[in-house]
Structure 1
Amino acid sequence: MAKNANLPNVEELTAANAAAIANLEAVAHTALEAIESLSALNLNFARESLNKSSKQANAALKLKTPQEAAAMNADSVQPVVESVVAYARGVYDIANGAASEISGMLKKQFDDLSKKVQDAAVSGAKAAPFGSDVVLAAIKQTVEANNAAYANLSKAVKQAADIAEANVTKATEAAVKATKRK
């Protein structure tokens, strides 16, 4: 049986599948690392909260006047807010880092696929019968349109991430300032 130069062979298909599995594995590892980081952050936050609550309760037992209780209440708000803000910031940083890493992996995979489609179109053009240049031009135009759409989507996602980052920073600053004024 003659091999068709335009069709991928078994080795190419096997290599493509192996690459897809490797990419999927890399994405899964990144997601698991993010979950591990979030778990560690949660455990540390719970441990610190328990320690602070215990110290606060012991200090409350030593209070003698309502004025001391009011002062203690006022003094305890800011550290709690700062702790919660730091926790939220940690969650955001872990999620944002994992999303950026996974996005980079997916972009590389998309770029590789686009190149393979273009290469296949070029090799197909060499062996194609007369008149098929219209079909090949349509394939090339489709690939270019997909690349442009992906670039626009990536740009929109980056802008949304930048806006979210700015909002997290502003909310953090506002929360800390609000507790300092009291």
Structure 2
Amino acid sequence: MFTLPEQFSSAAKANFEAQLSLLTNLTSKAFESVEKVVDLNLNVAKASLEDSSIAARQLLSAKDPQEFFSLTAAQAQPTAAKAIAYGRHLAGIATSAQAELTRTAEEQIAETGRKMSALVDDVSKNAPAGTENVIAIVKTALGNANAGYEQFSKTTKQAVEVMEANMNSAVSQFTQAAEKTGSRARR
């Protein structure tokens, strides 16, 4: 049987290790997402450079102002479509990263909550008589902390859903505007 100080020492050590593990996991996930964004940006920059070179050659080969403006208008829609695709890909990376970070944090917080509840239950079994009120207060505090975390988690998920809906709406509006611009340019 462990003494009370040994139990708390063991719990503190386990909690520290859990927090270190959480921080390591979150940092790893964040770096993976940053790496994806960097790769996306490098690919977009490379493609943009190639497209700009082709477009410049086409514009320089225009024989009159009418052809020049016609070529310029024809290039507007593919450019807008690429910008939309980039925005969607970037939003996908952000959404995926957020979901992965949330999942990792939720798992770690749930595990820590289970360990703390187990510790309180174990301590309460070995607690001296007369400490029932203190143990009840600790259990209530743990329950309130868990309820607060659950409410925070729900609110965060709702905020992310609203942000995603707003982003999708903005992309949709941009797509419609690009299509209108492209159809006007073709006339």
TM norm. shorter chain > 0.5? yes
| TM norm structure 1 | 0.88
Shift of 1:170: 1.4
Residue-by-residue CA offset, 1:55-86 (whole Å, 9 max, x unaligned): 11000011122221222222221211221222
Instruction: Assess if the C-alpha contact under 8 Å between 2:33 and 2:93 holds in 1.
Output: yes
Q: Is the 8 A contact 1:30 1:102 kept in 2?
A: yes
Q: How large is the RMSD of aligned CA atoms in angstroms?
A: 2.1
* Contact 1:6 1:127 survives alignment (8 Å): no
Say whether 1:96 aligns with 2:95. yes
Paired residue total: 181
> Cα offset for 1:158?
0.9
Q: Which runs of 5+ in 1 are unaligned?
A: none
Q: Which residue of 1 aligns with 2:47?
A: 48
**Contact 2:59/2:72 (CA < 8 Å) preserved in 1?**
no
Task: Report matched runs for 1:118-137 at 5 Å.
Answer: 118-137=117-136
| Residue identity opposite 2:148 in structure 1 | A
What is the deviation of 1:8? 2.2
Q: 1:18, CA displacement in angstroms?
A: 4.0
Q: Are residues 11 and 120 of structure 1, via their aligned partners in 2, closer, same or farther at CA, if it must alter by over 3 Å?
A: closer
Moved more, 142-151 or 68-77: 68-77
In the other structure, the counterpart of 2:31 is: 32
State the one-letter code of the partner of 2:169.
K
Does the 8 A contact of 2:120 with 2:135 survive in 1? yes
Counterpart of 1:73? 72
Counterpart of 2:71 in structure 1: which amino acid? M
Kindly state the Cα deviation for residue 10 of structure 1 after the two structures are TM-superposed: 6.7
Give, in angstroms, the shift of residue 109 of structure 1.
1.3
Query: Could you tell me how far apart the structure 2 residues matched to 1:151 and 1:17 are?
Result: 22
**TM-score by structure 2 length?**
0.86
Residues 1:163 and 2:162 aligned together:
yes
One-letter code of the match for 1:146?
A
Could you tell me whether the CA contact under 8 Å between 1:63 and 1:69 is conserved in 2?
yes
Q: Give SS of 1:64's match.
A: coil
Same amino acid, percent of matched pairs? 29
- Once residues 76 and 54 of structure 1 are traced to their aligned partners in structure 2, the CA distance between those partners, rounded to angstroms, is 12
Question: CA contact under 8 A between 2:15 and 2:112: conserved in structure 1?
Answer: no
Q: Which structure is higher in RCO with an 8 Å CA cutoff and minimum separation 6?
A: 2
Give CA-to-partner distance per residue, 1:106-159, whole Å, 9 cap, x none.
Answer: 111111111122112111211222221111111111111111111111111111
Pair 172,74 (structure 1): closer, same or farther in 2 beyond 3 Å? same
Partner SS for 1:123:
helix
Give the Cα separation in 1 of the matches to 2:146 and 2:86: 38
The secondary structure found in structure 1 opposite 2:178 is helix
Gaps of 5+ in 2: 182-187
Report the AA paired with residue 8 of structure 1: Q
